[in-house]
C-alpha cells in the first residue's frame, strides 16, 4: 500500500503524531487507494507558519510571474488528464466521463485565472478636488485556509488555489479525507510548475482534527470553505470571534420547473442528468422536480422509464450510468431520508433501496418520489444522493413560489417555450444560478458560481468575481496641489 505525506514549507513530511488513515475505493472498499497523514494541530501550526513566512516574499513576486506558474499547472493537467481522471474515479467513484469533466473544469479554471495575472483590474475616477488623483487596486489578504469537499476533488480546489495564489496570497490546503490522493496530485503539479516553498502547503487529515485546527489558527487570515451548511455555520461562528474573512459555498435544494408548454423529452433528459449525475452528489443536483399538473402524467411516465434503465456500477466501466456513493455514512444518510419520505406519505415510484448486488461498494438505486408536498422534509432538506422528488403545481406563480420556498438558493432550471414565462422566472426565481431549458448542473468557470440564503454568505467563486474573495481593495489618493485640501469642505 502506498503511503503519502503532507507538504509543509517545501518538504514532504509525515504527521507529527505518526498516525494515518486510509482512502478506499467506494465501488469496492477492499481496494485501498493509499494511507495518508492523520494530521493534527501541530501539523497545521507548522503549515500556517510556513505560509506566513512565505507570504512576505510571494506577495512581491509580480503577478504575471505568479500566473506563469498557474499556466504551467494547466499544461500539466492537459497532459495528465486521463491519468488524473482514472485516479479520481477509483478514489471518488464518479463515472469516468464525469471525472474527465472534473479535470477539464480545473484546467479551464487555472487557465482563466492565469489570465488574471495581467489583469486584476482596479480603476481610477476623477477627484472632486483640483490637483488630486484617485485610484484603487487589489492587494492580497495573507494566509488562506482552503478547505475543499470530495465530490469535485480536482475542480473545486483549483477554484480556490488558483485565485488565491495569483493574487499573492499563500495557502494551507486541507482537502476532504475521502479524496486525499487527488489533492496530493494537484500539489505535486504546483511544485513541479515552480511554486516556491511555503506558498502552497498541503495538510491531510480529518475535519475534526486538521480542519478544526486550521479554522481556529490565529495565523490564518481567510477561510475558504466548500461543504455542508451545518459545517459552514460552525466555521462562520468560529471565525467571527477573530474577525477572519470567511467564504462559504454550501448546500442546495435545486429545482427543475416544468411548465405546461415545456418540451417534455428535453425536461426529462435534464432531470435525469441533474438528479442522478455524480450519483446526486452535487450541490447543484436536481433534487426537486416541480411539474405543472397539465403535463405531470407524461413527464412522470417518461422519467420513470428512463430512470429504471440506468445502470449502476463502478465508474471505470463503460456500461455504468450511476456510480457509488462516497461512503458508508453517505449511504446511511440516503437510506434515512428515503424512510423519512415514506413516513411522510410520499410514494416511491422506483428505487428506494440499497442495490441488491452492491458487494462491498456503496451503491443505492436511483430513486423517485411522487405525491410530494412542498413542506415535506424530502422537499426541503439536502439529501446528497440519487433521490429526487416530484412536486405537482397548478400554475406558474405556484411553481415559482415552491421553487423559492426552501432555505437554499443555489441553482434552478425552468422549462418553457414561452418567452414571457421565461423572463418572469429570470426575474423572480431567487437563486444564484438559473437555467432556462437546461439542467441545474453544468456551470462554466467564466461566470460567478454561488447562491443565496443558506447556500453561501454572499461570495461567488468562478468568474472574475472570485478575485473579491481573495483580495482587499486599497484606495490610493495622490495630492499634488502642495496644500492640505479638505474633501467635502473645500470648493
Rounded to the nearest 5°, which phi and psi values hold at 426?
Answer: -60, -30
73 within 8 A of 189, measured Cβ to Cβ: yes
CA 369 – CA 323 distance, rounded (Å): 20
344 is catalytic: no
Reported as type and span, the H/E element at residue 265 is: helix 264-276
105 within 8 A of 153, measured Cβ to Cβ: no
C-alpha cell at 222: 481567510
SS3 225: strand
Residue of 91, 98, 283, 461 with catalytic role: 283
CA 407 – CA 437 distance, rounded (Å): 24
87 within 8 A of 96, measured Cβ to Cβ: no
List all residues 6 or more positions away from 58 whose beta carbon is below 8 Å from its beta carbon. Answer: 66, 168, 169, 170, 196, 198, 199
Query: DSSP assignment of 278-312, as one string?
Result: GGG-STT-EEEEEEEHHHHHHHHHHHHHHHHT--B
CA 489 – CA 149 distance, rounded (Å): 52
CA 450 – CA 447 distance, rounded (Å): 10
**N-terminal to C-terminal alpha carbon distance within the chain:** 76
Please compute Rg for the chain using Cα positions. 24
CA 167 – CA 165 distance, rounded (Å): 5
Rounded to the nearest 5°, which phi and psi values hold at 76?
Answer: -65, -40
C-alpha cell at 439: 439542467
Compute the 3-state secondary structure of the chain and give helix, strand, coil in percent, each to the nearest 5: 40, 25, 35
Reported as type and span, the H/E element at residue 249 is: strand 245-249
Cell 503539479, residue?
A: 189
Cell 513566512, residue?
A: 53
Q: What count of Cα atoms within 13 Å lies in the side-chain half-sphere of residue 157?
A: 27
Which residue, among 56, 53, 72, 62, has the nearest Cα to 167 in the 3D structure? 62
136 is catalytic: no
Residue of 87, 91, 98, 249 with catalytic role: 249
Which residues carry out catalysis? 249, 283
Amino acid at each position: 500500500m502506498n503511503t503519502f505525506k503532507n507538504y509543509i514549507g517545501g518538504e514532504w513530511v509525515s504527521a507529527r503524531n505518526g498516525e494515518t488513515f486510509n482512502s478506499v475505493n467506494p465501488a469496492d472498499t477492499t481496494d485501498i487507494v493509499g494511507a495518508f497523514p492523520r494530521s493534527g494541530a501541530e501539523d497545521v501550526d507548522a503549515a500556517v507558519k510556513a505560509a506566513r513566512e512565505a507570504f512576505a516574499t510571494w506577495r512581491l513576486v509580480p503577478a504575471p510571474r505568479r500566473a506563469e506558474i498557474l499556466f504551467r499547472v494547466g499544461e500539466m493537467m492537459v497532459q495528465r488528464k486521463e491519468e488524473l481522471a482514472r485516479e479520481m474515479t477509483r478514489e471518488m467513484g464518479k463515472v469516468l466521463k464525469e471525472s474527465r469533466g472534473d479535470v477539464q473544469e480545473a484546467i479551464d479554471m487555472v487557465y482563466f485565472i492565469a489570465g488574471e495575472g495581467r489583469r486584476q483590474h482596479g480603476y481610477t475616477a476623477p477627484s472632486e478636488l483640483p490637483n488630486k488623483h484617485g485610484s484603487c487596486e487589489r492587494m492580497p489578504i495573507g494566509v488562506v485556509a482552503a478547505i475543499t469537499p470530495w465530490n469535485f476533488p480536482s475542480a473545486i480546489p483549483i477554484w480556490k488555489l488558483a485565485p488565491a495564489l495569483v493574487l499573492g496570497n499563500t495557502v494551507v490546503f486541507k482537502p476532504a479525507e475521502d479524496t486525499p490522493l487527488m489533492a496530493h496530485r494537484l500539489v505535486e503539479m504546483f511544485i513541479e510548475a515552480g511554486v516556491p516553498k511555503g506558498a502552497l502547503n498541503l495538510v491531510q487529515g480529518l475535519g475534526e482534527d486538521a480542519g478544526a485546527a486550521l479554522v481556529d489558527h490565529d495565523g490564518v487570515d481567510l477561510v475558504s470553505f466548500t461543504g455542508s451548511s451545518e459545517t459552514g455555520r460552525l466555521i462562520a461562528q468560529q471565525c467571527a470571534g477573530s474577525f477572519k474573512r470567511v467564504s462559504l459555498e454550501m448546500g442546495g435544494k435545486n429545482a427543475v420547473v416544468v411548465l405546461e408548454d415545456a418540451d417534455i423529452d428535453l425536461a426529462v433528459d435534464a432531470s435525469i442528468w441533474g438528479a442522478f449525475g455524480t450519483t446526486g452528489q452535487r450541490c447543484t443536483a436536481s433534487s426537486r422536480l416541480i411539474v405543472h399538473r397539465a403535463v405531470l402524467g407524461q413527464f412522470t411516465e417518461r422519467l420513470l422509464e428512463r430512470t429504471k434503465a440506468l445502470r449502476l456500477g463502478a465508474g471505470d466501466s463503460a456500461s455504468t450510468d450511476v456510480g457509488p456513493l462516497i461512503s458508508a455514512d453517505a449511504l446511511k444518510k440516503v437510506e434515512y431520508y428515503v424512510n423519512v419520505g415514506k413516513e411522510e406519505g410520499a410514494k416511491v415510484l422506483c428505487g428506494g433501496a440499497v442495490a441488491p448486488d452492491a458487494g462491498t461498494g456503496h451503491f443505492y438505486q436511483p430513486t423517485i418520489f411522487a405525491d410530494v408536498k412542498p413542506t415535506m422534509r424530502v422537499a426541503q432538506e439536502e439529501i446528497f444522493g440519487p433521490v429526487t422528488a416530484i412536486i405537482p403545481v397548478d400554475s406558474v406563480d405556484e411553481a415559482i413560489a415552491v421553487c423559492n420556498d426552501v432555505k437554499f438558493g443555489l441553482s434552478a432550471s425552468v422549462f418553457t417555450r414561452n418567452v414571457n414565462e421565461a423572463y418572469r422566472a429570470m426575474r423572480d426565481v431567487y437563486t444564484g444560478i438559473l437555467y432556462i431549458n437546461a439542467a441545474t448542473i453544468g456551470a462554466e468557470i467564466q461566470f460567478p458560481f454561488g447562491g443565496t440564503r443558506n447556500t453561501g454568505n454572499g461570495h461567488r467563486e468562478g468568474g472574475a468575481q472570485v478575485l473579491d474573495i481573495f483580495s482587499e481593495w486599497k484606495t490610493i489618493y495622490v495630492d499634488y496641489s502642495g496644500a492640505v485640501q479638505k474633501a467635502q469642505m473645500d470648493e
